[in-house]
Structure 1
Amino acid sequence: MIKILLIDDDTAILRMLSKYLCQEGFTVETAASGKQGFQSFKTGQPDVILLDITLPDEDGFFIAQKIRRIDRDVGIMMVTGKKDVIDRVVGLEMGADDYISKPFHLREILARIKSILRRKRVYDLEPSESADQSPSRKLVCFADWTVDLSARILTASDGKPVSLTSGDFNLLEVFLKNPQRVLSRDKILDIVAARQWEPFDRSVDTRIRRLREKIEKNTKSPEIIKTIRGEGYIFSAAVTRNSRKTL
């Protein structure tokens, strides 16, 4: 059963979310402080964490960063009482997959959790990954990189794997499936985060910058992910399967 960890010092919110998510079929664990939440993460192995930014003992951003150092696959949704774009950007930089502002609707929380789980292939398995079919490796290559889409691993030319957060890998996968095609910020955000882009929302730019730091030789003059002013981004590198047939 899918497990959700709720970390929030507001006991009323913990009770409300816990009851609702349990009714939706999830296993739920709660924590009222950063220290308790981090310990629950280490011992409970949750699939998704809802993490409040403002905690009594530790900053939620710091907790997210600590979690990401240990587990790059667990889903993290930051919960904030503010609508400040800076909070959103910082959360993504710390490794969060999504964020939501208080007050929120329970159905929106559920939809966002399911979206994270789908992107991580936990909630809905793709047909090729169903239990009655044998797993197959889906290898693609671009520039000096090899990507195993099944195992979600990025490997450098020297054979060393490069660590990517789940959100960063999802973004890379979007580009790999749409090479040499201009993608707007709105389109990228719609695919990666299942929500629409808003004016002054720089979350896509933050994700792009983070991915560039991993795959570009020179981030000041990127050759793989290029910015098309006024339109969005384009993945300019040729993408091939391991058979070297262009996607």
Structure 2
Amino acid sequence: MKLLMIEDNKSVSEMMAMFFKKEKWDAHFAYDGNEAVEMFNEDVDGWDMVTLDLNLPGKDGMQVSADIRKASPTVPIIMLTARDSESDQVLGLEMGADDYVTKPFSPITLIARIKALHRRADLAKTTPADQPASTVSSFDVQTDHFKLNTKTREAYLADKQIQDLTPKEFDLLKTLAQKPRQVFSREQLLQLVWDYEYYGDERTVDAHIKKLRQKIEKAGPQIIQTVWGVGYKFDDSGVDAQ
């Protein structure tokens, strides 16, 4: 795994460097926002993972996240933040991060989070290069207007591909689409989509739903519906009416 850790605290970077070395990961370090964006852009397609501190000199972590996401819509990003405000954490997710870890954190916890996110992202790279992705295998989830392939990590609405889904967004869409019109609470989605406890931080789901909806709307009508006071459901029955 080629990993970019963006962290202005060199003690934290040096500590994590030892853990990354033990995992045999190719870890690189940036210590301010401007340096981070420059390093990332030097090898946009080569990075497998980014960890990003929000409190950075030069350029704020939120802007760094936005710049990285603009260059690469799918590279996994984990925020590292000492901020306690839920609004900061949710804003970071809305700016393109896939996950966050609050400081102070256990190195073992961060390693586990990285591995869990990387497993999902790695599935997107298994499609044979000599075959069109949409023909590698049949679709695992298919309704009248929607289809999804877990091997190629592709999803289509009205035969138009939903582009640039992050690993978490894809898994969230799959979970909802597997049971059309079934209402899932935020707590249920946290348990089904995330591999670890979020300790009731249900706004994480809302932030990912918001980004997922934006990408769906580029392909066609909205198929993720809010059930007020309960949660969310997948429903493509209104696609013909659009």
TM-score range (shorter-chain normalised) is 0.7 to 0.9
Aligned to 1:33: 32
Task: Give the whole-Å Cα distance in 1 for the aligned partners of 2:15 and 2:42.
Answer: 23
The answer to whether the 8 A contact 2:94-2:210 is kept is no
Change (3 A) 1:48 1:137: same
Task: Give the whole-Å Cα distance in 2 for the aligned partners of 1:23 and 1:48.
Answer: 17
Using the TM superposition, name which of 182-191 and 61-70 deviates more: 182-191
1:87-98 aligned at under 5 Å gives the runs 87-98=88-99
Task: Give the whole-Å Cα distance in 2 for the aligned partners of 1:130 and 1:168.
Answer: 19
Give 1:162 shift: 3.1
2:2 is the counterpart of 1:3: yes
Give 1:173 shift: 1.9
Give the secondary structure class of the aligned counterpart of 1:179. coil
Residue-by-residue CA offset, 1:46-73 (whole Å, 9 max, x unaligned):
2110100011100111111111112122
Matched positions, count: 227
2:51 is the counterpart of 1:58: no
Aligned to 1:173: 174
Q: Identity of aligned pairs, percent? A: 33
Using the TM superposition, name which of 84-93 and 31-40 deviates more: 31-40
* Structure 2 unmatched runs, 5+: 238-242
Amino acid corresponding to residue 233 of structure 2 in structure 1: I
Change (3 A) 1:37 1:92: same
2:169 is the counterpart of 1:137: no
Q: TM-score by structure 2 length?
A: 0.80
Change (3 A) 1:216 1:71: closer
Give the secondary structure class of the aligned counterpart of 1:121. helix
Q: TM-score by structure 1 length?
A: 0.79
Residue-by-residue CA offset, 1:18-72 (whole Å, 9 max, x unaligned):
1111112211111111122122222342211010001110011111111111212
1:1-247 aligned at under 5 Å gives the runs 2-44=1-43, 45-121=46-122, 136-139=136-139, 140-142=141-143, 144-157=145-158, 159=160, 162-199=163-200, 201-215=202-216, 224-237=223-236
Change (3 A) 1:67 1:150: same
Change (3 A) 1:216 1:27: closer
The answer to whether the 8 A contact 1:154-1:163 is kept is no
Amino acid corresponding to residue 4 of structure 2 in structure 1: L
Amino acid corresponding to residue 114 of structure 2 in structure 1: I
Task: Give the whole-Å Cα distance in 2 for the aligned partners of 1:206 and 1:193.
Answer: 14
Residue-by-residue CA offset, 1:212-239 (whole Å, 9 max, x unaligned):
233359xxxx96323334432222337x
Amino acid corresponding to residue 137 of structure 1 in structure 2: S
